[in-house]
Amino acid sequence: MLTFFSKYKFFAIVLFVLSAVIVTAIYFIMKPKESLKIFQPADVAAELVDSTLQYVKRYHTIADFSLTNQNGETVTQDDYKDKIYVADFFFTTCQTICPIMTDHMVQIQEKLKNDNQVLLLSHTVTPEIDSVAQLKKYALEKGVNDAKWNLVTGDKKEIYDLARKSYLAAKDVPYQENDLVHTENFVLVDKKKRIRGFYDGTDPEAIESLLHDIKVLEQEN
């Protein structure tokens, strides 16, 4: 019996390896490809969505925009064409969640510094305070890479409309004129201008999930 197994030992090993390869191949063929949800206004808490859009269930995309970045340059949707990007809302004088969010955005910038498919976009919700000069000062303090990340200011109504009608990332404050409360959300946008995820910009674990999902989107595209 030992002689028999010794004689066919090589073939047994080959058969075992081949079986392992086949099983692994079948697993990857049968395993569903990971994909991300496409978010619509109807999927999001009503308080974060303009009343005109709360029941929209399909075809939602980020509206075109024209804003000004930390270098005084006009930034439009064309600058993000065919790019995956992460968007958020902040203001430079915020002393609560904004510093944490900015630090996490800096980490994302560092992780993806060599990834040309991904950009970052931060909108101020106090454009009357956050001038180009103020945004530039903030950008230099935080280590913003101008080629990767735009901090933008501009018309207040346009920014607020983007927050509530496009990115679904801000609460309305009906009893304070021209006021808005931004959330801690980072919004993941795909190359077709669709929302693919919301992430707590103050939570390190959520940032890891965001980085993972960016890779999923890159595989999708």
pLDDT digits (tens, 9 = 90+) for 65-110: 999 999 999 999 999 999 999 999 999 999 999 999 999 999 999 9
pTM of the model: 0.84
Does 17 lie in the same domain as 89? Answer: no
Residues 19 and 77 in one domain: no
Average pLDDT over residues 38-46: 96
Instruction: State residue 220's pLDDT score.
Output: 87
Residue 148 CB neighbour total at 10 angstroms: 17
Look up residue 25 and give its two tokens: 């191949």
Domain annotation covers residue 36 = no
Residues 52 and 14 in one domain: no
12 and 63, same structural domain?
no
Average pLDDT score over residue span 142-166: 96
Q: Identify whether residues 81 and 127 lie together within a single domain.
A: yes
Reading the block at residue 104, the tokens are 């996490």
Q: Are residues 74 and 162 in the same domain?
A: yes
Tokens 């490809």 sit on residue: 33
pLDDT greater than 70 at residue 36:
yes
Helix (H, G, I), strand (E, B) or coil at 108: helix
Say what percent of the chain tops pLDDT 90: 76
Ligand-binding annotation for 123, yes or no, is: no
AA identity, residue 180:
L
- At residue 15 the predicted structure's pLDDT band, cuts being 50, 70 and 90, is low
Range of the domain at 24: 1-31
In a domain, 94, yes or no: yes
Residue 97 lies in a domain: yes
Domain co-membership, 161 together with 102: yes
Residue 60 annotated as lining a ligand binding site: no
Q: What per-residue confidence (pLDDT) applies to 147?
A: 97
Average pLDDT score over the chain: 88
Instruction: Give the torsion sign (CA, 185, 190, 192, 195).
Output: negative
Overall domain count for the chain: 2
Answer for the pair 68, 154: CB distance below 8 angstroms, yes or no: yes
Q: Give the Cβ contact number of residue 33 at 10 Å.
A: 8
Mean pLDDT of 151-157: 96
118 and 212 share one domain? yes
Label residue 149 left, alpha or beta by phi (over 0 means left) and psi (-120 to 50 means alpha). beta
